[in-house]
Amino acid sequence: MARRILITGASIAGNAAAWWLGRHDFDVTVVERAPAFRDGGQNVDIRSVGRDALRRMGLERAALARGTGEEGTAWVDSQGRPAALFPAGDAGSEGPTAEMEILRGDLARLLYDGARDRTVFRFGQTVARIEQTPEAATVTFADGRTERFDAVIVAEGVGSATREKIFPGENAPRPMDLTVAYLTVPRVPSDDRLWRWYNAPGGRSVQLRPDPHGTTRAMLALHGPLPGAQDWDPGRQKAFLRERFSDAGWETPRILAALDETDDVYFDVLRQVRMPRWSNGRVVLTGDAAWCVTPLAGIGATLAVTGATVLAGELLRNGDVADALAAYERAMRPMVEQAAGVPKFAPRLMHPKSRLGIRLLHGGLRLASQPRLRGAFARFFTQRGPEPDLSRYGGLAPA
Ligand SMILES: Cc1cc2nc3c(=O)[nH]c(=O)nc-3n(C[C@H](O)[C@H](O)[C@H](O)COP(=O)(O)OP(=O)(O)OC[C@H]3O[C@@H](n4cnc5c(N)ncnc54)[C@H](O)[C@@H]3O)c2cc1C
């Protein structure tokens, strides 16, 4: 039975895997590149089987209680007047705003708090090298320490360095031609409980969303290719945003002012991870490191929680690591493939170049927001495929 497990990455996927495995007599170590637990990040939502995973962990209510309180999504014009409104919880919670909307950091913290007593966490640490034999994976860490593990779970997100070491050249990334910067801005009295989405000409959008911490979450999105910009230094990223958004209008000036004041900006050039396989020997990928579908699919955090649960369930069910990792991939592939099918025209459609295009988008959204058409529109936001059946993992109980 695989007993010693290394997990790399302490965000949603890594903490969810640690949460389960630590409760089932596995000896779990988590290494995280950041010097301390990362609380940052903006809204993620958990839907369908992801809710089931949290329910099985006994965390569903706690996650709902930490929700952002978002009441729906409104597309607005430059005066803030709504052009189309989609209330939350409508269309079976499948619209842009789900019933369970939570900040990434709040969800990761919930999982981390439940995992930390049964797991060794090492912050400021990364994997330098992994050597594998049929019996074990020998890991050399960046500080020179060497240890043996029965399995290594790589949960390092979209840009995973360990993935590139163990699966060199295997990722065929799919650029989605959308760059998004996420940051927190001071709340002002006119901020409401809606996700407000404003389109500016030039393929830009400016978005504001409520949070439960007395602040407001902002997004600046720009359509078009921008390869490698995720690796620019933060100063260059900020200068780029300032230059491209200075004339965008609506609430943009206060967001750009906040940009100058904060270091907590998550800048992402959306690209999917496309891996032909998720394991190599005793090393297995999960979460965004395995399949990042990008926020455009609306299901990344759901997949991260679900994938970690399935992986833990299979490691528990199978004495042999190879069997467990193969079963995990069989269970998760169909759902991931469907999610990865999010069309590339989606970001272009939602980010028109011209004022006329924006007027047409608003007209279409107004139509789609009619109660009878909302269901079809909602499906555009969430790519749902065949989901793994978590009841197979009867052994996974929230002990
Ligand atoms: C700080 C932060 C903010 C985010 N903000 C948003 C957001 O606003 N909106 C959104 O839709 N998604 C956001 N995401 C991404 C979102 O969390 C994921 O798309 C999804 O939840 C899947 O989670 P994951 O655990 O697989 O990957 P991620 O959440 O990306 O987590 C990967 C973790 O691995 C760590 N890591 C990276 N490389 C290494 C390494 N070599 N060794 C050890 N650890 C490593 C990272 O520091 C991070 O903690 C954010 C992620 C992070 C880390």
The pair of structure tokens assigned to 241 is 């945003």
Other beta carbons within 10 Å of 263: 8
pLDDT surpasses 60 at 89: yes
Question: What is the chain's mean pLDDT, rounded?
Answer: 93
- Name which residue sits closest to atom 38 of ligand 1, judged by CA: 156
Q: What tens digit of pLDDT does each residue of 289-303 get?
A: 999 999 998 899 999
Instruction: Tell whether the model's pLDDT for residue 398 goes beyond 70.
Output: no
Residue whose Cα lies nearest atom 29 of ligand 1: it is 11
pLDDT at 399 over 60: no
Cα–ligand 1 centroid distance for 79 (angstroms): 34
Do 34 and 105 meet the contact criterion of CB atoms below 8 Å apart?
Answer: no
| Interacting residues of 317 by C-beta distance below 8 A, sequence separation 6+ | 324, 327, 392, 393, 395
CA of 82 to the centre of ligand 1 (A): 32
Alpha helix ranges (H) inside 120-245: 161-166, 234-245
pLDDT digits (tens, 9 = 90+) for 347-393: 999 999 999 999 999 999 999 998 887 777 766 666 567 999 999 99
CA pseudo-torsion sign 34, 35, 36, 40: negative
Retrieve residue 308's tokens: 């970690």
Give the residues surrounding ligand 1 with Cβ less than 6 Å away: 8-14, 31-34, 38, 40-42, 44, 104, 126, 155-157, 160-162, 182, 266, 287-289, 295, 300-301, 304
Average pLDDT over residues 183-207: 97
**Model pLDDT for residues 14-73, shown as the tens digit of each residue:** 999 999 999 998 999 999 999 999 988 888 989 899 999 999 999 999 999 999 999 999
Q: Among 156, 185, 296, name the best residue to mutate to test ligand 1's pocket (greatest count of ligand atoms within 8 A of Cβ).
A: 156
What's the pTM? 0.94
Q: What is the CA(134)–ligand 1 centre distance, in A? A: 31
Mean pLDDT of 171-192: 96
pLDDT digits (tens, 9 = 90+) for 125-160: 999 999 999 999 999 999 999 999 999 999 999 999
Backbone angles phi, psi at 62, to 5 degrees: -65, -40
CA angle 133, 163, 241 (to 5 degrees): 165
How confident is the model over 92-106, as a mean pLDDT? 78
Ligand 1 center to 11 CA (angstroms): 6
Encoded tokens for 387: 């989901």
| pLDDT tens readout for residues 67-82 | 999 999 999 999 999 9
Total residue length of the chain? 399
Q: What is the per-residue pLDDT for 374?
A: 76
Residue 91: per-residue pLDDT? 45
Distance CA 53, CA 32 (A): 23
Find the distance separating the first CA and the last CA of the chain, reported in whole Å: 20
Residue whose Cα lies nearest atom 37 of ligand 1: it is 156
Q: Which residues have a Cβ under 8 Å from the Cβ of 321 and sit 6 or more positions away?
A: 2, 150, 151, 282, 315
